[in-house]
Structure 1
Amino acid sequence: MIVDELPQRTLLRPGLRLPAFKGPFQDNGASPWYSPVRVGNGPAAPILKLNVDTGARFNWLTSTACDTRACTMPQRRRFDPAASSSFVAGAGEPLRIDFGHWGEMLATRGSDFLSLGTLPPQRAGFYCTTHYDGTQFCELNWDGGLGVPNGLSPDPHSTHIVETLLNAGVLTPERAMVSFLMDPASGTGVVEFGGYDMQAVDEDSAIELPFVPYATGLDYIWTTPLRSWKVGPVEVARGQLFCHDTGSSHFKGDPVLLMQAMHQLELQRGRTGRYPLLELDIGRHRDDGRPARLVLGADQYVTEIEAGQGRGRTTANLNPLAGYDGLLLVGSILLDHVCAVYRFQVSGAPGRYRVAPGTTWMFNKRGGPQVIRP
């Protein structure tokens, strides 16, 4: 059995909702958003700040075994495996996990119960970090992350949370999705497994982003064809791939594309005294299949750095990222202003379900900026 297309009105029922909160915006490329999740059992089980991350293929937590500066900062919360009687340690030596320009993280394997919303605790596999440091991790608002990759190239030691909920009977194959609806003005939002808030979005604005995989080894990220990217009237990219990543904040990716975009932004700003529009030609309108555009103004992509290095400075949030040729990636700078619904294809049978990438939907929010254009 494979399920992808969804009966429209099944989404009227609410799914599993996790509250989300916005920490201070920092210039480290990571999303400022996180959700509180209790890990382990008993009254002493900590509530950690976890980002629900569509750009990661694994789950990870900061553990008490880590004593670097980034792990022991006053606002950091840590999980103590020894204090949870339900923790099961994994076999093997600590692993070295490469975060690219962020550096590296050492971690051990294990599993324990995660308390998600009002559900009974669900057992999940994750990595317990034993070492990381540096300004990138020091400026991270989260204590860890819950990966929601598209289902390709699964991590053998980390549980896919959507598969876990499917096989626990919490989600049905027709409702295998995760939606993100954030309100940056209030600093609050909702991550919903199994549905989205139809009353909060403009259904007529709905677009579909068909999945096309990126490079081998990074095919687990959610990517779609990018027909064109314009800075003001000037096209700076054509025929590349676009990734929408809830764990990120900035526009980043292919250094050549980003340098061209940054050059055009400063050139046009110097001529006119204002920031130009950023226009992404991607996806198709769900109702009639017409090509769609996402248009961001300065109010959406130019932000103030609220904490950490550069605090008080204004940034346009464009950053080259070596090693990602042909890819443009963005996170909260776009996703704060639309509702994104990541949908999965489901195969297998109850108790043995597996997920694969489906078609992502995006909507304008009612009363929000009209980012999605005809």
Structure 2
Amino acid sequence: MNTCLPGKRLVFPMQRGPFQNNGATPWYSTIALGTPGQPLKLAIDSGTNITWVTSTLCPPDQCTHFGTGRFDYRASSSFTFTDCLQRPYSFGPWGTMQIESASDVLNTPTGATLPMKLFLATGYGGAQFKQLDWDGGIGLPCSSAYVEGRSSFLFQELLRSGQLDPAHPYVAFDWNANDREGTCQMGAIDQSKTHGPHVFLPWSVYSKVPGVEYIWSADLKSYSVGDETLATDVTFALDSGSSQFKGDDRIMQQTLARIARGGSPAVVLGFAEGEITLGAQLYNVLIEEGPDKGKTLPQFAPLGLADLVLVGSLVMEHCYTVHEYQIVKCGHEVYSLAPVGIWLFNRPDGPQIITRSSSRRFIAGPRPVATGKVTLPAPAVQPLRSTSVAGTWKNDYGSVMTLTVTGNQISGIYQSSTGSTGQYAVTGYQSSSAAASNQGRPVALAIDWHSLGNEPADPSWNWTSGLCGQISLVEHEEVLELSHLLVASSDFPGLAQQGTYVDKLRYRRCSPGVTERQDANSFLQTKIDNPLTGRWMAPDANVLTLTVEAQSKGRLGRVTGKLSGPAGAMEVSGFTDICAVESGLTLQSTAITAAQETGVLSLCGTLDLKSDVLELSILTCTPTAPTLTYVQTRLSSATFKRIGVYQ
């Protein structure tokens, strides 16, 4: 019995290729392009706003991919270029390809042809592209308002050509992973599959990252792994061109860390109405092709998209999925599409991943076509914050630091989630000028890794760190991005050898500025005799004049003084390992910070207790635009030799 809603419809048969560990869906439809039609494997992709194909414009040794197909534009009599320029097209952190603009006809399943503007890939590379099961993609954005101007929107073109009925504004995916076959049905749904547990996800624009408003997104109230809630009030996106979970770096990395601890925790997506639960047997997937072939791996990947949890076939293979539009008729055969939302229904023959249903019921039947103007909601604009570093920050590893600021001097407490556990003292400076939309605010920090608590001692207690970078306003969100030099003055068996280790850390604010001072200064006592105390000169005539204080119980070494030279003088604040001698070390780790008029410095390294030479790496940060943070911090080095004992 035909249980589809009446009206014109198109059914695109789909196949499941081998699952590869590249984040792209293994599902595609074989569709002919050109005259005569050339069959190509094309993803029907709700995670993009373009239509594109791999083409013979690629040199023979480029554009290699698992799907293997290429569109030969010279063999199509209906092909034309629509532009004479080649340009890059970015898929964000996933990759970039070179494209040229063109037009040709797409051959639909009914045998009709449809003129389409599209992009021809002329070059791409990298593991992600190499593992693609498909030869191109057909974009299915959430709205015609977000279509890339030089590319056609298939669903809109089908309405315009009369091949679909605007009263049935549905695109339904029905994928059977066991049979490796499925369908994408446009212009109709199968009513027999719209019963039982379901979730409705009303569309809500994702605006944290500009340029990706086309994704099918919705409000996500909570994201939990096991009994830990890792995020609240973020955005969820369902992307038929994707496979694994990806999005916010912190959320994805914390998910992987929680899974690595064992216990096979479930991942729970909590919506205002409804809930989806994926057990470990569903997110741990056997890799069928590619470099990781034969491994079973958890499918979570950071993608640099703040406050976003995005997933594709990992969820859609277990649901009957319906994307619903609001059709607006603007004139004769002129239709615009606005997003309504996504309906998900448990597949009766699969795992029941919808564990709490929405109260809103899906009502089968035609939808009214609007004739007036429809206004899409504007992205929510968040108020600018103070852009002071004061407050609590968490990085992608899960480490937390709570900082206060007096003038432009920073103090605080650091709680690490890597290596040893405990609380550690922080000091540093932020620049005098606050961050703006076009310029960041430099920040320099020093950390002493001697625990302030009563934890058992380990070699890292002799280490220090210097960090330098800036707070930037990225779409009204403060991001603190710091280059990190970890000075390991001794071996830590099983963790690290003696040396200086480089990392880049990204922090996001957990809470606004605090008023209570959060540091170890209240425990500091008197000046002490220490090899670092004194005056030190570098070849460029810069002089460090340093004094060391100590905390009697915790043996924390605090450094104060001045850095002076041809550019003037500035106060310094930092830490040094005052336990180096009693620990039997020949190197005393040191990290100090300073603030210039327009930037900040972090100087860190070791004092050689035998040669009495101070070797320091110097991180210097000056303000840059958020798009130029890759040149925000400059690395140099200097050797300081003693020129006198400080009195």
TM-score by length of 1: 0.90
Report the counterpart of residue 331 of structure 1 in structure 2.
312
Shift of 1:12: 5.5
Does the 8 Å CA contact 2:65/2:132 hold for their aligned counterparts? no
Identify the structure with bigger relative contact order (alpha carbons < 8 Å, sequence gap 6+).
Answer: 1
Contact 1:243 1:328 survives alignment (8 Å): yes
Q: CA deviation at 1:207?
A: 2.3
1:137 is the counterpart of 2:118: no
Q: Does 1:281 align with 2:281?
A: no
2:259 paired with 1:262: no
- Cα distance in structure 2, aligned partners of 1:12 and 1:363: 20
Question: 1:77 matched to which residue of 2?
Answer: 69
- The farther-off stretch of 16-25 and 213-222 is 213-222
Query: 1:39: which partner in 2?
Result: 33
Residue in 2 aligned with 1:211? 203
Q: 1:307 to 1:125 in 2, by over 3 A?
A: same
Pairwise CA distance, 1:68: 5.3
From 156, 169, 178, the counterpart of 1:176:
169
SS in 1 for 2:128: helix
Q: Does 1:121 align with 2:94?
A: no
Q: How many residues align?
A: 350
Q: How do 1:243-322 and structure 2 match up within 5 A? A: 243-267=237-261, 269=262, 272=263, 275-282=264-271, 291-322=273-304
What is the alpha-carbon distance in structure 1 between the residues aligned to residue 65 and residue 91 of structure 2? 20
Deviations 1:150-206 (A, max 9, x none): 12322111110111011111222221221111011111100111122222x251323
Q: Partners of 2:238 and 2:64 in 1: how far apart?
A: 31
Say if 1:204 and 1:13 are closer, same or farther in 2 by CA, change over 3 A: farther
1:69, distance to aligned residue in structure 2 (A): 4.0
Note if contact 2:67-2:132 (Cα within 8 Å) is conserved in structure 1: no
Contact 2:4–2:189 at 8 Å: present in 1 too?
no
Query: Which residue does 1:227 correspond to in 2?
Result: 221
Deviation at 1:299, TM superposition (A): 2.4
**Structure 1 partner of 2:393:** none
Shift of 1:116: 1.9
Shift of 1:235: 0.8
Shift of 1:14: 7.3
1:166 is the counterpart of 2:159: yes
Q: Does structure 1 retain, via aligned residues, the 8 Å contact 2:66–2:133? A: no
Structure 1 residues 75 and 325: alpha-carbon distance in aligned structure 2, compared to 1, 3 A threshold: closer
The answer to whether the 8 A contact 1:341-1:360 is kept is yes
State the partner residue of 2:43.
51
AA paired with 2:151? Answer: S
* One-letter code aligned to 1:342: H
**Is residue 65–residue 133 contact of structure 2 (8 Å, CA) maintained in 1?**
no
Tell me by how many angstroms 1:72 deviates.
4.5
Q: Distance in 2 between matches of 1:14 and 1:115?
A: 17
Matched, 1:23 2:17: yes
The SS at the match of 2:252 is helix
Indicate the residue corresponding to 2:344 in structure 1: 362
Q: Where in structure 2 are the equivalents of 1:142-153 lying within 5 Å?
A: 142-151=134-143, 152-153=145-146
Equivalent-residue separation in structure 2 for 1:240 and 1:102 (angstroms): 21
Cα shift readout 1:197-252 (whole Å, capped 9, x = no counterpart): 222x2513232111111123111111000001111121111100000000011101
Deviation of 1:91 (Å) = 1.8
| Structure 2 SS opposite 1:85 | coil
Would you say the 8 A contact 1:346–1:354 is kept in 2? yes
Larger deviation, residues 10-19 vs 333-342? 10-19
Give 1 or 2 for the bigger CA radius of gyration: 2
Q: Secondary structure of 1:77's partner?
A: coil
Q: 1:334 is matched by which residue type in structure 2?
A: V
Which residue pairs with 1:95 in the alignment? 87
The AA in structure 2 aligned to 1:191 is C
Determine if contact 2:8/2:163 at 8 Å carries over to the other structure. Answer: no
CA distance in 2, matches of 1:74, 1:344: 33
CA 1:68 to 1:106, structure 2 compared with 1: closer, same or farther past 3 Å? Answer: farther
Change (3 A) 1:112 1:356: same
When you count helix as a share of all residues, which structure comes out higher?
1
After superposing the two structures, state which structure 1 stretch, 52-61 or 106-115, moved more: 106-115
RMSD across aligned C-alpha pairs, in angstroms?
1.7
1:64-111 CA-to-partner distances (Å, cap 9, x unmatched) read 111254535585111111111111211230121012233311111111
Higher strand share: 2
Counterpart in the other structure of 1:6: none
Q: Against the structure 1 CA distance between its residues 75 and 222, is the aligned structure 2 distance closer, same or farther, given a 3 Å change threshold?
A: closer
Q: Give the 3-state SS of the residue equivalent to 1:71 in structure 2.
A: coil
Distance across 2 between alignment mates of 1:72 and 1:263: 33
Verify the 8 A CA contact 2:94 2:303 in the aligned structure 1.
no
Q: Secondary structure at 1:165's aligned position in 2?
A: helix
Larger mean CA deviation between 186-195 and 116-125 belongs to: 116-125
**Percent identical:** 34
| Runs of 4+ with deviation above 4 angstroms | 72-75
Task: For residues 340-361 of structure 1, give each alpha carbon's deviation from its aligned partner in whole angstroms, at most 9, with x where no partner exists.
Answer: 1111111123411111211211
Shift of residue 301, structure 1, vs aligned partner: 1.3
Tell me the SS of whatever aligns to 2:343.
strand
Distance across 2 between alignment mates of 1:223 and 1:113: 30
What one-letter code is carried by the residue in structure 2 that aligns with 1:22?
R
Stretches of structure 1 lacking an aligned partner (at least 5 in a row): 1-8, 284-290
Opposite residue 343 of structure 1, the aligned amino acid is E
Superposed CA deviations along residues 241-270 of structure 1, whole A, max 9, x for unmatched, are: 000000011101111111222222222x2x
- Return the alpha-carbon distance in structure 2 between the equivalents of residues 293 and 337 of structure 1: 14
**Change in CA separation of 1:116 and 1:240 when aligned onto 2, cut-off 3 Å:** same
TM-score (norm 2): 0.53
